[in-house]
Chains A and B, each alone.
Chain A
Amino acid sequence: MKKGELKLLRVSFEVFFFIFIFLSFFRLLPEKLKVISIKSQIIPHVISFFFEGFLLSLFLLVLLLLITAIFGRIYCSFFCPLGGFQDILIRIKKRGGKFNYREPLILIKTTILILAIISLVSGSLYLIGYLDPYSFFGKIVNYLLKPFIALINNSVELTLRKAHIYWLLIMRFPTLNHLTLIPFILILAIIIYLSLKRGRLYCNSVCPLGTFLGILSIRCLYKIEIDKVSCTSCGICESVCKAECINSKDKTVDNSSCIRCFNCLNVCPSSAIKYKPSTKKKKSSIEKTQNISRRNFIYSFLGVLGFSGINLFLRNKKIPVVNYSPPPTPPGSISLDKYISKCTACYLCVNNCPTNVLQPSLFHYGVKGVFIPHMDFYSGYCSYECTRCLEVCPTDAIMPHTKEEKQKIQIGRVNFIKDYCVVYRNETNCGACAEICPTAAVTMTPYKGVLRIPTTKPSICIGCGACQNVCPAKPKKAIVVETNLVHKEAKTPKRKRAGRINATPEDFPF
């Protein structure tokens, strides 16, 4: 492969995955395509395998890590959507670039990696949710890009609609919670500042996945190397290196920091910089970083072991997650505990939910489950025919189930409070809850005169929350769903026979 083609290959992959992962947060793409593009992400596979032991996740994880061990940090420039986001910013700032070689920030890197691993095993993915590049990209789409697009779309839509052109649809603004925005804006500011000032420094100082892949690629097979004989130390390659890992004076490349963007290959006037299987014996400077990395890696490993021990100890004590009734978790999440320990709050499900029942939470699931999506029956209800969140969830926090299986999962049970009901209070007809109930767990039964009042059958209820969502009673809903902390199976409703009236009568009945 020629040197120019490598960069072209990288740019094509980067653009493809960036666009497809970005579009996965909209309803335009078919679910299959969304799943395929997000299968390129590493952390979701780690979680899926770590907690559920899914072999497909293991296979893809091994494959992605193997690619790293052979070719270096391909992931960072080919698949990572946050990398793509930063590259867009870098391109806006300075085309061609003016970067200088800097020593890697090993202490910061390793500390954050250790913190991330603690977060992974502690049963709350709060930190991972902000440090995993894919999950953070999801937050960028949810909090920044989508509202921006919605604003433009809706104003164009309004203009067109006034001219009776119905090409566009109104987009819903995501719910913005001030509290969830604080850590988001903080990290986003760091990313934007660093990418504008120092290229991909975020990937080489904060991102724990970048650090981990960096350790893996220290001994990778294919390396960027400078031919010491033909190199003139002109520094052009150093100035275009977004990762700031080329030292043109010493004619060395820090391959653990290199994100494989291949920008340097095209610019060298004497073709001295090459991407090829490593042949040379390790030089002292590389060895130095390597030793430090190895030592740090061992420390990290010991740290993780220690913290997992503490974590296991804490887990066995069974600290109650919450001491009040939390909202139900999405069907397929099995139980509240499992859901909290696997969700990284990438908000992919929130953005794909057709009824907007999935909303970012605040402290609905306690401190451990802060900011992960919850079922908000005030903004929507879970559609009986829909399985989108189960299909798209990249970490299997919402496990895949077929539609028939999902329609049997009882995430909560209906509870009718007669005192608040419109029929009881005003003595007028209503029936909003019964007409929307998909399983006939709520039906209307004779009450006074021609009036009919809701009657519930909680055993066949699936807890979809449709009744709670549509109940018009104010200020308190007369029908609510009570959460099953561990999901159950709903009983099959018995069908009553039809045929009360004759088919196709001989004549008009009037």
Chain B
Amino acid sequence: MNRRDFFRKAFSLAAVAGISSLVKSNTLLAAEEGSKNSKTPDLIAVKNGTPERMFDEGIKAFGGMKSFISKGQTVVVKPNIAWIANPEGAATTNPTLVKRIVEHCYDAGASKVYVFDHTCNDCFTTYPVSGIEQAAKEANATVVHADKESYYEEVRVPGAHALKRVKVHELIIESDVFINVPILKHHGSTKMTCALKNLMGVVWDRSFYHRTDLDRCIAEFPLYRKPDLTIVDAYNILTDGPRARSLEDVVKKEIQLLSKDMVALDVASAKILGEKVENIKYIKIASDLGIGISNLEELNIKRITL
């Protein structure tokens, strides 16, 4: 009995100490953010809510969708619908989040909102099974396919070494606003798939990426076009991905990140996933190319806990 009591006390003490130290560091960070005092935050992190609710709060902190979309603009939303998986499988973006994003776009005055992904599995199955087709259509978005080459047009990627030319989906070329909605997942070869890697779903020839230099191509694509806003869905994350094989690999994190900076998002996401940033090669290459900032301490981060 004595021993058990001892352990109990020891643990509770340790827990209290841990929490207090976390709180302390948090207040310190908050103070630092205040000192930077830029008007809008560079990265917004939201915790403890449903994907829709976290998005509502996150986008509010950015000043609403109106700060990204002007009246009459066309918007393309690019979620991850790559694999045949239910929303619970955490291999595809939460359909409720996609729906809420589309609703916000229309509220901000968008003339048309498109949703598409160049899927890995057959899109006639992944679109409905993921629930995204249905959810996007409910919010009045146009769900477009991307499974044939004729949807794509070749563009030049300025300043790229590996990915000099790439065939991009015409909606990415034409749309005024580009919103990237990845789901955070572990990935067998690149270690993590999130903001930067999600953009592999807007090009035709993925096998060129794989053949040439996967990490470099992923990092170089944003030289052509960066998304105007990236929303990382880390509500449920897959720890053995990218394909949903078992529900045992799904971990509930209830986090959502919003930013224009994909590199910063990927660094923050790697920390959520528990992966070392140095091991994810494309983050370093993208940071060196000036796609974004990898040092989170340089950024004004706003943390919202619901």
Contacts and interface: CB of A to CB of B under 8 A. Distances in A.
A166 B125 CA distance: 18
Interface in A471-510: 472-474, 495-510
Q: Which are the 6 A-B pairs with shortest beta-carbon distances? A: A431-B189, A472-B211, A472-B207, A472-B210, A444-B188, A509-B271
B40 interface: no
B155 interface: no
A498 B249 contact: yes
A422 B211 contact: yes
A498 B240 contact: yes
Nearest to A164: B112
A415 interface: no
Size class of B's contact patch? 35 or more
Contact of A434 (B47, B84, B120, B188): B188
B200 to A, nearest CB: 11
Contacts of B303: 508
B3 interface: no
B52 interface: no
A385 B125 contact: yes
Interface in B269-285: 271-274, 278-279, 281
A434 B189 CA distance: 8
Contacts of B272: 509-510
B45 interface: yes
Nearest to A169: B145
Given A158-B150, A474-B211, A503 B252 contact: yes
Classify the secondary structure of A's interface with B: loop
Given A504-B254, A510-B45, 19 more contacts: A27-B124, A169-B145, A170-B151, A383-B122, A385-B121, A422-B210, A428-B214, A428-B215, A430-B210, A431-B190, A431-B214, A435-B189, A435-B241, A444-B189, A472-B207, A495-B245, A496-B240, A498-B246, A498-B251
Interface string B251-269: 1111100000000000110
A443 interface: yes
Contacts of A272: none
Contacts of B271: 509-510
A368 B209 CA distance: 41
Nearest to B248: A498
Contact of B47 (A426, A429, A437, A508): A508
Interface of A: 27, 154, 158, 164, 166, 169-170, 172, 354-355, 383-386, 422, 426, 428-432, 434-438, 440, 443-444, 450, 452, 470, 472-474, 495-510
B213 A432 contact: no
Nearest to B240: A498
Contacts of A500: 239, 274
Contacts of A354: 122, 124-125
Nearest to B215: A429
6 contacts: A354-B122, A355-B122, A386-B122, A428-B212, A435-B188, A503-B251
Classify the secondary structure of B's interface with A: mixed
Contacts of B50: none
Given A472-B208, A474-B211, A510-B268, A440 B252 contact: no
B19 A506 contact: yes
A430 B255 contact: no
Contacts of B182: none
Contacts of A470: 120, 206-207, 210
Contacts of A502: 251
B207 A426 contact: no
Given A431-B187, A510-B271, A170 B122 contact: no
A501 B26 CA distance: 22
B142 interface: yes
B129 to A, nearest CB: 8
Contacts of B250: 498
A428 B210 CA distance: 8
Given A509-B272, A510-B267, A172 B148 contact: yes
A381 to B, nearest CB: 9
Contact of A503 (B48, B142, B206, B253): B253
Contacts of A510: 45, 267-268, 271-272, 296, 301
Contacts of A428: 212-216
Nearest to B268: A510
A510 B42 CA distance: 14
A172 to B, nearest CB: 7
Given A500-B239, A510-B271, A432 B207 contact: yes
A383 B273 contact: no
B243 interface: yes
Given A498-B240, A508-B47, A435 B251 contact: no
Interface string B126-157: 00000000000000001111011011000000
A170 B255 CA distance: 38
A450 B150 contact: no
Given A386-B122, A432-B210, A452-B188, A508 B273 contact: no
Contacts of B22: 506-507
Contacts of A472: 207-211
A133 B241 CA distance: 48
Nearest to B303: A508
A430 B215 CA distance: 9
A505 B188 contact: no
Given A170-B151, A508-B255, A435 B187 contact: yes
A496 B239 CA distance: 11
Contacts of A172: 148
B201 interface: no
Given A422-B211, A430-B210, A452 B189 contact: yes
Contacts of A429: 189-190, 213-215, 281
A115 to B, nearest CB: 40
B227 interface: no
B269 to A, nearest CB: 9
B58 interface: no
B242 interface: yes
Pick from B125, B142, B189 the residue with the most CB of A within 10 Å.
Answer: B189
A207 B268 CA distance: 70
A237 B143 CA distance: 56
B45 A508 contact: yes
B242 A435 contact: yes
B239 A498 contact: yes
Contacts of A435: 120, 187-189, 241-243
A430 B296 contact: no
B33 to A, nearest CB: 13
Contact of A495 (B151, B241, B246): B246
Nearest to A434: B188
B6 to A, nearest CB: 25
Pick from B45, B188, B191 the residue with the most CB of A within 10 Å.
Answer: B188
Interface in B183-212: 187-191, 206-212
Pick from A428, A429, A498, A506 the residue with the most CB of B within 10 Å.
Answer: A429
A429 B84 CA distance: 24
B110 to A, nearest CB: 13
